[in-house]
Amino acid sequence: MATTQHTTPVTLTLTEKAAAEVRKFMAEEKVSPETAGLRIAVLPGGCSGFRYSLNIEDKPGDDDVVIETAGVRCFVDGFSAQYLNGVTLDHKSNFQESGFAFENPNATGGCGCGSSFTV
């Protein structure tokens, strides 16, 4: 008897700037863009209750949702998926800040660091 895998539908978007940065990191890590991807996770902690985590990984986990956006494969686990639906990941580089920035419509609050949020 076959088992049916239930996955949470997730809409996740990387801007072209963010995708270019991820591709640069993937090249530095020397991973295959055909199988590797960006792990985007939400973890308990941070100054507002949850924090974001980004990592380059060789391949998705068995229970991951794999999303292709802007030519980059993104891996999202089931716990994180509920908090990441509708999120846009951007990359900013200016005088005041540099790095990845999350635009999360699910967040009800956040903090000044931009890497944690409340739901």
Residues 31-58: tens digit of each pLDDT: 998 899 999 999 988 677 888 999 999 9
* Residue 58 three-state SS: coil
More confident residue, 108 or 82: 82
For position 27, what pLDDT does the model report?
94
Most trustworthy range by pLDDT among 16-20, 97-101, 106-110: 16-20
Tokens of 43: 């973890």
CA-based Rg of the chain, rounded to a whole angstrom?
A: 15
End-to-end Cα separation, the chain, in angstroms: 39
pLDDT-above-90 percentage for the chain:
58
CA-based torsion, 6, 57, 41, 43: positive or negative: positive
Neighbours of 38 (CB within 10 A): 26
Q: Which CATH superfamily is domain 12-114 in?
A: HesB-like domain (2.60.300.12)
Cβ atoms 103, 88 nearer than 8 A: yes
For position 58, what pLDDT does the model report?
95
